[in-house]
Amino acid sequence: MYITFDFQSDVPLYLQLRNQVVIAISKGVLKPGDHLPTVRALSDESGVNAMTISKAYQLMKQEGYISTERRGGAVVSAGDKEIKVSKDTVNRLDLCISELRLSGMGEEQIVDLCRRLYREEE
Amino acid sequence: MLMKIFLWASIIWLLPFLFVVQRNEAKFKKNISIGVTLPQEAREDPEVQALLKKYVKETGIICIILGLAVIPCWFPKSYNWLLFAWMLWLDALIVFTQLPFIRYNKKLRELKAERGWNKKTSDNVQTEKVTVNISNISTPRWLSPWVFAGALLITLVPMAISSDLWPLILIFALTQIMFYLVYRYAFRTKSESIDDNVEITQALTQIRRSYWGRIWVKIAYATAIFSLGTLLLKNHGKLYFWITIIYSIYTLIVVASPEFKIRKAQEELTRNSGASEYIDDDEHWVWGMFYYNPRDSHSFVNGRVGIGSTINVARPFGKIMCIFTIIIMVLMPAFPFLLDWSIESKVVFVQEENHVTVSCGRSDYRVDLEHVAEVSLIDEYPEELSRTWGTATDKILKGNFSAKDYPPMQVCLNPGKTPYILVLTDNRKAYLFGTDDPLRTQELYELLKPQSIP
């Protein structure tokens, strides 16, 4: 699995890592029990500061996507584990729905679009 | 003459060694030749082949010229000018052997751009992005610090047995700590990725990591044995000289042998790479040899080929190291003169009650007159006089020495002015003194003679 860090992006590096791992888990590229590299190894490999990688791991741990190991590695959490949806995610979804509604789409159309995107993910 | 042979032997091997290393750069390893990443199709290209041949030839010519430039290094009679000549030659060797690399790296890059050989590369060429394959990343297993602690303990043994060796043993001990720190922290553990082939990446990474550990463990234990040898042979100048030579040769072999083995493995394992997608980070390598990547938060990075690591010149530490290296190289020929200038070389003496103190700078050598058994004036050094710890310049020789058939000897003299005074005491001590004025030396001799005891 490839992780790309874009240094020009407005999205902070730790969030780029977090987002790519979350997408990989949701698409099944990363499965429960899969190991992620240690903070230091990923930092060495990418050149990104170890503190940045650690921040992403901590965030994913808080959100329930991964559990961290003693030696700095991480494991993708089991599917049955409760994932906390952050307030930020709910707010972003709220904003998207508002934009779609203002563009003239009705409830059914929005739900259809969501369903289509969800199935594409799978 | 012995000093000239010693200097020649300890420096001259660098010339063939650097030639072999530089010639090896022309072979494709990890899709790289002379610091330029090229696709498979480019390897057999006649223009590329011609450039590589020219590069090897030019490197050879420069090495022959440098070999001839050694001749003037044999002429200086003074120790300082002799060192000056050799250090100047060393500077020339380091700089001139790199010139063909820089020249042909530039030519090869131009050819690469001209032929569009940088089109098939992966995202890694984009300086604003970095892509890593996390399935390829393996966590390195570091050797336990106790492995190095064992070597350190052996190194310290002579200090417990012979107190006069402590400054030298302390340096060995500090060197051992440095070996561990270099092993653990001056090595970037980045995977040796060259393309999508996971097996080859893992093989190259494993080889590099395992040899790195072996090198430092071997050097650490060789240094520990050398430290024991210092204890056993401290009074046998010639044998100690030979054990020093053996230690140096062994260290060289321990470092050079894995370097060439890894280069060979990199060459063979990546022989078929570069046909489709491959990693090309030429953008980050100035002249193909200096890593400059502000996006990389690490100061140490994998060397392009071989086992070593190099410095990221874009980081503050890299910049400091770069400036430091340039300063060292510029000052290297001036070192002997700077040493002379900074070291007090005037030998003075004073008699107080029943002892005489001979001093030079901050070094004092106190002789208890009641223990003096024999004093003689000599014009040549005792046989196999060898420095254990101290200073040796054109103007001053001082510190702890050993000599054949004598107990441990303390020396404080001006090597250019004879006679010297050899003092033997009844409590198994020996001293060798001499000032810059034969009349003052005679005066000191009178003071030290047994009958001068009040």
A16-32 pLDDT, tens digit per residue, is 999 999 989 888 888 88
Residues of B in contact with A7 (CB under 8 A): 128-130, 295
- pLDDT confidence of residue A72: 63
Q: Are B89 and B11 in contact (CB under 8 A)?
A: yes
Lowest mean pLDDT among A73-77, B85-89, B431-435: A73-77
Q: Work out the number of other CB atoms within 10 angstroms of the CB of residue B238.
A: 12
Q: Are residues B263 and B355 in the same domain?
A: no
* C-beta pairs of B312-320 under 8 Å, 24+ apart in sequence: B313/B286, B318/B291
- What is the largest distance, in Å, between two alpha-carbon atoms of chain A? 52
Residue B242 lies in a domain: yes
B429: domain range?
Answer: 343-452
The pLDDT mean for chain B works out to 88
Helix, strand or coil, per DSSP, at residue A79: coil
- Give me the residue from A3, A7, A44 closest to B295, CB to CB: A7
Test A44 with B298 for CB contact under 8 angstroms.
yes
The pLDDT mean for chain A works out to 86
Q: Are residues B156 and B270 in the same domain?
A: yes
Rounded to a whole number of angstroms, the distance from the CA of B307 to the nearest CA of chain A is: 16
- pLDDT confidence of residue B124: 43
Test B137 with A41 for CB contact under 8 angstroms.
yes
Cα angle for residues B90, B229, B158 (degrees, 5° grid): 115
State mean pLDDT over B417-426.
Answer: 91
Q: Domain end: B233, B263, B280, which one? A: B280
B248 by Cβ neighbours in 10 Å (0-12 / 13-18 / 19+) ranks as middle
Q: Domain end: B256, B280, B304, which one? A: B280
Q: B126-171: per-residue pLDDT in tens? A: 446 777 878 777 777 888 999 999 999 999 999 888 777 788 899 9
Q: Given pLDDT bands bounded at 50, 70 and 90, which one contains residue A81?
A: low
Q: Are residues B249 and B131 in the same domain?
A: yes
Residue B353 lies in a domain: yes
Rounded to a whole number of angstroms, the distance from the CA of A95 to the nearest CA of chain B is: 29
Residue B360 lies in a domain: yes
Residue B314 lies in a domain: no
- pLDDT confidence of residue B193: 79
- pLDDT confidence of residue A62: 87
Q: Domain end: B231, B249, B280, which one? A: B280
Measure the CA–CA gap between B225 and B215, rounded to whole angstroms.
16
Helix, strand or coil, per DSSP, at residue B436: coil
Number of domains in chain B: 2
Lowest mean pLDDT among A30-34, B208-212, B217-221, B235-239: B235-239
Q: Are B295 and A7 in contact (CB under 8 A)?
A: yes
| CATH code, residues A13-76 | 1.10.10.10
Q: Which residues pair with A5 in a beta bridge?
A: B130
Q: B103-135: per-residue pLDDT in tens? A: 999 999 999 999 888 754 444 444 467 778 787
Between the alpha carbon of residue B377 and those of residues B57, B354, B441, B449, the distances in Å are: 59, 21, 9, 11
Rounded to a whole number of angstroms, the distance from the CA of A30 to the nearest CA of chain B is: 10
State mean pLDDT over B71-76.
Answer: 86
- pLDDT confidence of residue B126: 46
pLDDT of B35 over the 60 cut: yes
DSSP B375-410: EEEESSPPTT-EEEEEEE-SS-EEEEEE-TTS--EE
pLDDT of B172 over the 80 cut: yes
Q: Are residues B142 and B241 in the same domain?
A: yes
Q: Are residues B267 and B172 in the same domain?
A: yes
Q: B49-67: per-residue pLDDT in tens? A: 999 999 999 999 999 999 9
Q: B37-50: per-residue pLDDT in tens? A: 999 989 999 999 99
The CATH number linked to B418 is 2.30.29
Return the higher-pLDDT residue of B392 and A93.
A93
State mean pLDDT over B88-93.
Answer: 95
Please identify which residue in the block is written with the tokens 């990989």.
A24
DSSP B34-60: TTEE--HHHHT-HHHHHHHHHHHHHHH
Residue B25 lies in a domain: no
Phi, psi of B393 (to 5 degrees): -130, -175
Rounded to a whole number of angstroms, the distance from the CA of A120 to the nearest CA of chain B is: 24
Q: Are residues B228 and B349 in the same domain?
A: no
Q: Are residues B266 and B356 in the same domain?
A: no
Test A43 with B129 for CB contact under 8 angstroms.
no
- pLDDT confidence of residue B213: 92
- pLDDT confidence of residue B120: 47
Six-digit token pair at B83?
């060192």
Measure the CA–CA gap between B148 and B364, rounded to whole angstroms.
37
Residue B185 lies in a domain: yes
Test B131 with A7 for CB contact under 8 angstroms.
no
Measure the CA–CA gap between B208 and B192, rounded to whole angstroms.
8
Q: B350-388: per-residue pLDDT in tens? A: 988 888 999 988 888 999 988 888 999 999 888 878 887
State mean pLDDT over B80-85.
Answer: 88
State mean pLDDT over A33-37.
Answer: 89
Q: Are residues B236 and B376 in the same domain?
A: no
Residue B167 lies in a domain: yes
Test B134 with A43 for CB contact under 8 angstroms.
no
Q: Are residues B129 and B274 in the same domain?
A: yes
Test B132 with A45 for CB contact under 8 angstroms.
yes
Measure the CA–CA gap between B244 and B168, rounded to whole angstroms.
13
Measure the CA–CA gap between B78 and B80, rounded to whole angstroms.
5
Quick one: angle between helices B145-161 and B166-185, nearest 10? 170
| Cα B44 to the center of its chain, rounded Å | 38
Report the Cα–Cα distance between both ends of chain A, in Å, rounded: 17
Q: Given pLDDT bands bounded at 50, 70 and 90, which one contains residue B451?
A: low
Q: Are residues B275 and B397 in the same domain?
A: no
